[in-house]
Every structure is written in structure tokens, then in C-alpha cells.
Amino acid sequence: MSLEIVILAAGQGTRMRSALPKVLHPIAGNSMLGHVIHSARQLDPQRIHVVIGHGAEQVRERLAADDLNFVLQDKQLGTGHATAQAVPFITSDTVLILYGDVPLIEAETLQRLLKHVVPGQIGLLTVELSDPTGYGRIVRDGEGKVTAIVEHKDATQAQRAITEGNTGILAVPAAHLSDWMSRLSNNNVQGEYYLTDVIEMAVNDGLQVATEQPHDAMEVQGANDRKQLAELERHYQLRQALRLMAQGVTLRDPARFDVRGEVSVGRDVLIDINVILEGRVVIEDDVVIGPNCVIKDSTLRKGVVIKANSHLDGAVMGEGSDAGPFARLRPGTVLEARAHVGNFVELKNAYLGEGAKAGHLTYLGDAQIGARTNVGAGTITCNYDGVNKWKTVIGEDVFIGSNNSLVAPVTLGDGASTAAGSTINQNVDKSQLAVARSRQRNIDGWKRPVKIKKD
Ligand code: UD1
Ligand code: CA
């Protein structure tokens, strides 16, 4: 069987009240349409056709990829009309229709649906609803066979009592689809070309309609407004949380944990509340992440400890290293094993060798720091001269006194020391002590100013 997928994504989404096209609104940092495309790709289709209309240029720009064919639907004349725009491009024998604003659909559910597409049969995904208002209703005959879908607005009182709703998701043989599209009419209450009319046509052509249901009704829930968007977000996040817990992670509160990307985890990882993981995050065994941390595109090796309120982006933390509270590790930060970064320390493009320490109130940018070196409180690298960035290279077992300014480019040899309060703008050789501050003067008999009386 060769498969092509059509994703309908041309609708306006008025209720979002947004300049952003509806299908670009995010769930877990990825657009709704992005999620649908992700599930679609897992089915390994020949091609994915995305029908766009409202905000077409923005959608195309954001999601362009080799396997996507964007098809423009100039006027939104209905789901049938939208599907018809993609039909001329289809060369495979099976077509699956998805929706750009139904983001949580799972590939596994779609696989089950596709199994029903055999000669003489089509597959329809339906859902049992406690309140089916607004949905198309699945009409069945006395033997339980599907005979039609009636839109809510076109339904009789009796049909409105049906609780089996149309999800819109449908798998059909391509050969029939183009014929059915040519026979669609807009002779209905909404004056639209309904895709749902193909069900009745299929039955009249002697095909069976086989139905399948999702395991979880949220999979087929659309987002029409921001309230529904938030509901889908929470549902998605809970799904991520459950997955990680199943893999050996303790989450202090699964409802206060967000993943906006892809995370791989080891065992016995502990994650406290309000942690956000973004992009690609790798977490090895025994890692502990304190509350209120944001961790993006980073790797945390075995036994890493990150204390509260830390922010990581593009960092690699070596085995047993620790950071925080209130640490900021920016892109290009590498901590070797057991390196220590304390509170109010910012690192950017900085390498801390094994066991090196920067405990307090420090900025290290474009810096290489050797093993076991200690960087005193309040030290900063002056890496920027207003035009160019320069590098600071510090050897092993160096002792940088408190409140140093290291004016790059500058190099300090192994075992060097610097005095507290120094401004180091010349290289320091191996084992030398650099003192670069003005000498202290003590003045005898100093008279303090006295307060002037005002009347
Ligand atoms: C549709 C179904 C209904 C089903 C419901 C599930 C039809 C006629 N009805 O109704 O049976 O219960 O979905 O949510 O199919 N779109 C386009 N171009 C258009 C119109 C729509 O691309 O001209 C896209 C929209 O962007 C959206 C999807 O198709 O992603 C569904 O459109 P919508 O208007 O929400 O359909 P409903 O009336 O809700
Ligand atoms: Ca809808």
C-alpha cells in the first residue's frame, strides 16, 4: 500500500483572536500543524499535502520541508473543497485526511485506521461524545452499518441525539476520492462543500465504512480558541510527564512540569516543581534538578545536581558537576566532571576543567579554565573590548583571588595566583603571584565630615 496524507489547514480560526494563523499556535513549543506533521511522518507516507489558505505564506515559511507539498485553497468553501485542492497531486493508492488544528492525534491510532482500508472498504475515525453539539453525527442503519454523516446544523432532532461524532479523520482509496470530489455539492444549510458527504457516496458505490475510535478522546480534540489550546497543552504535558515517570524519573509534581522538545532520561532522576525542558535535553542517571529551572538543548551527565532557579542553554555538565542556585549557563558552556558553579554565576562559551570552581557572583565568557582552578567571588572576564571578543586562558591549579577583572586576551599559567581585587591585563607565568591593585594607605588622625545643621 502506498500512502499520501492530506492535512486541512486553511481555516481562519477567528476565535483565537490572533494575528497568527490558527494552526501555528503552539502546543509544547511546536505549532499545532507541526505536531500533526510529526504524527503523519511516522506513517512513512510518499508525500504530505498541506492545504493552506488563511496566513498561507506564514504557514509555508514556518514549516517548509522536502516532503511537504503546500496547496493553496483561495477561498474556504468547506472541508470537501479543501480536500479537492490536493486531489490532483495524489499518485498513491490510499489517502489519509488529517486536520491542522487537531494536534494530539497519535500515529498508532492512525495505523489502526489505515488497516481498514482494503478493497471495497474505507476507514473512518469516530468518537463517543457526552456532548456532541457541533459535530457531524454518524448515522447507522438497523444492522449498525454506517450510512452517512450528517452535520449538526443539517441534522434532525432525532439525529442530534446520536452521540457518536465524526472526528473528520478519514482513510480512503485514492481512485474513488477524485470521483467523489467531482460530485460534491454545496446544497446544505451552510452552503459549503462537505467532505463528510463522501461517506454516503461510498455507501452508494457499494463500499463498507469501517470505524475505529481513538484510545483517548483528546487525540481528536481540535483547538478553536485559547481555552481549548490550553486544555490540549496540559493534556500533552501530562502525557510527557507520565512517559518520563514510566522511564524512572521522579517528578515532584507532574502538573508543574513542561517539556517543549525531546528529552531522553536515565534512571533515578529527580525533578522538582516548575521545571521546563526545551529543545533537545539529555539527562543521565541520578541527576537532580531543583525547582524553577529552565534547561534547553543541554546534556547532564550522571549525577549532575542543578539547584533552584538555574537557567541552562546549550550547556554540557560533566559527571557529578553541579550548578546553582541562580546559575546561568549559556551556549558553549562545558563543565568537566565535578566542576562546581555556584550562585549568581554566568558562563558563556566557557570551559571549566575537572573539579574547577566558580562559586559566587562571577562572569566567565570565552574562557578556558584548567582542572582544580578556583575562581574567586566577584571575578569577571572582560572578554569584550567594545568591538571584538577575546579569550581568557587559565591553567590548572590556578587561584584567582576575589573580585578580579581578567582583561582578555590574557593567559595565566598552571599554579599561578592573583591577589584579590586585581585587574589582570598581562599574562601571568606558571606559579607566579600577580598583584595588580593600588597599595593601601592608612591615614592617621582622619576627621570625618560632620552633619551641617539646616534651619
Ligand atoms: C468538521 C466536520 C464534522 C466534524 C468536525 C470535527 C465537515 C463538513 N464537518 O466540521 O463532521 O464533526 O469537523 O471537528 O467536514 N478547512 C479548510 N478549508 C475549508 C474549511 C475547513 O482547510 O474551506 C479546515 C479547517 O482549517 C479545519 C478543518 O478543515 O482544520 C475542519 O474545518 P471546520 O470548519 O472546523 O469543520 P467543522 O465545521 O468543525
Ligand atoms: Ca471545527
Which residue owns the Cα nearest ligand 1 atom 37? 135
Give residue 117's Cα distance to chain centre: 33
Task: Read off the pLDDT of residues 101-133 as tens digits, 9 standing for 90 and up.
Answer: 999 999 999 999 999 999 999 999 999 999 999
Ligand 1 in contact with 55 (CB < 6 A)? Answer: no
Task: Read off the pLDDT of residues 123-164 as tens digits, 9 standing for 90 and up.
Answer: 999 999 999 999 999 999 999 999 999 999 999 999 999 999
Best residue among 50, 70, 79, 185 to mutate for probing ligand 1, ranked by most atoms within 8 Å of CB:
79
This prediction's pTM: 0.92
Task: Read off the pLDDT of residues 208-254 as tens digits, 9 standing for 90 and up.
Answer: 999 999 999 999 999 999 999 999 999 999 999 999 999 999 999 99
166 alpha carbon, closest ligand? 1
Ligand 1 in contact with 257 (CB < 6 A)? Answer: no
pLDDT at 431 exceeding the cut of 90: yes
Ligand 1 in contact with 165 (CB < 6 A)? Answer: yes
Average pLDDT over the chain, rounded to an integer: 97
How far away, in angstroms, is 182 Cα from ligand 1 center?
19
The residues carrying an active-site annotation are 360
How far away, in angstroms, is 384 Cα from ligand 2 center?
54
* Contact (Cβ atoms closer than 8 angstroms) between residue 339 and residue 320: no
Ligand 1 in contact with 379 (CB < 6 A)? Answer: no
Task: Read off the pLDDT of residues 249-283 as tens digits, 9 standing for 90 and up.
Answer: 999 999 999 999 999 999 999 999 999 999 999 99
Q: How many helices (H) does the chain have, and how many strands (E)?
A: 8, 35
Ligand 1 in contact with 102 (CB < 6 A)? Answer: no
How far away, in angstroms, is 222 Cα from ligand 2 center?
7
Q: Look at strands 315-317 and 333-335 and give their pairing.
A: parallel
- Domains of the chain are 3-220 (3.90.550.10), 226-434 (2.160.10.10)
Q: What percent of the chain has pLDDT over 90?
A: 99
Ligand 1 in contact with 73 (CB < 6 A)? Answer: yes
195 alpha carbon, closest ligand? 1
- CA 1 to each of CA 107, 118, 169, 172, 174: distance values in angstroms, whole numbers, following the listed order: 17, 9, 19, 12, 11
Q: What is the mean pLDDT of residues 175-201?
A: 96
Task: Read off the pLDDT of residues 71-83 as tens digits, 9 standing for 90 and up.
Answer: 999 999 999 999 9
Ligand 1 in contact with 137 (CB < 6 A)? Answer: no
How far away, in angstroms, is 142 Cα from ligand 2 center?
29
Task: Read off the pLDDT of residues 43-89 as tens digits, 9 standing for 90 and up.
Answer: 999 999 999 999 999 999 999 999 999 999 999 999 999 999 999 99
How far away, in angstroms, is 91 Cα from ligand 1 center?
24
Q: What is the mean pLDDT of residues 83-100?
A: 98
Task: Report pLDDT for 1.
Answer: 79
Task: Report pLDDT for 168.
Answer: 97
Q: Quick one: pLDDT band at residue 455, thresholds 50, 70, 90? A: confident
Q: Quick one: pLDDT band at residue 12, thresholds 50, 70, 90? A: confident
Residue count (the chain): 455
Nearest to 376 by CA among 394, 397, 361: 361
Q: In sequence order, which residues have a C-beta less than 8 Å from that of residue 258 and are 6 or more positions away?
A: 28, 237, 240, 275, 276, 277
Residue 236 carries which DSSP code? Answer: H
- CA 89 to each of CA 47, 65, 138, 242: distance values in angstroms, whole numbers, following the listed order: 10, 17, 29, 40
Task: Report pLDDT for 277.
Answer: 98
Task: Report pLDDT for 400.
Answer: 98
Three cell numbers at 58?
506564514
The C-alpha atoms of residue 24 and residue 269 are separated, in whole angstroms, by 33
